[in-house]
Structure 1
């Protein structure tokens, strides 16, 4: 069995209004999944607080909370 690319699972509970906000963001930004939308929102929130800098031109498959450097390690 191959190793998962994202082996860690995070479960959250949302109100109906919160889920609707995530879904609206997802569809407006044409995100491929809820998970990708939540990762992008986390990335943007962390970037806004100065924990990482947002990058332009990232493909949908590359959406993640932390960016990878050229060696493939989390930055």
Structure 2
């Protein structure tokens, strides 16, 4: 864990999520007792970056930002959340 005394965050990141994506992050946050939503997102990003070699590269040719989401379409379908 980073030493908070030496940590200076100067950059702000704006991210738009739908209700389901935000719920998934908040659920994970509370299950893991994270102090803030921002801390949870940072931890999820850290874990994703560490595990990157275990995943195939995303298909980015002709992709738009809507092609990338927090909640996988397979997960939505199994939960009955697929609105497509």
Choose between structure 1 and 2: higher helix proportion. Answer: 2
Shift of 1:5: 1.3
Partner of 1:49: 52
TM-score for the superposition, normalised by structure 2: 0.53
Higher relative contact order, structure no. (Cα contacts within 8 Å, ≥ 6 residues apart)? 2
Give CA deviations for 1:27-67 in whole Å, capped at 9, x if unaligned: 000000000000000000000014xxxxxxxxxxxxxxxxx
Answering whether residue 33 of structure 2 is matched by residue 30 of structure 1, we say: yes
Matching residue within 11, 16, 29 for 1:8: 11
RMSD (Å) for aligned C-alpha atoms: 1.2
How many residues were matched structurally?
47
Give the number of the structure whose alpha-carbon radius of gyration is greater: 2
TM-score for the superposition, normalised by structure 1: 0.60
The gaps in structure 2 that reach 5 residues or longer are: 1-6, 54-84
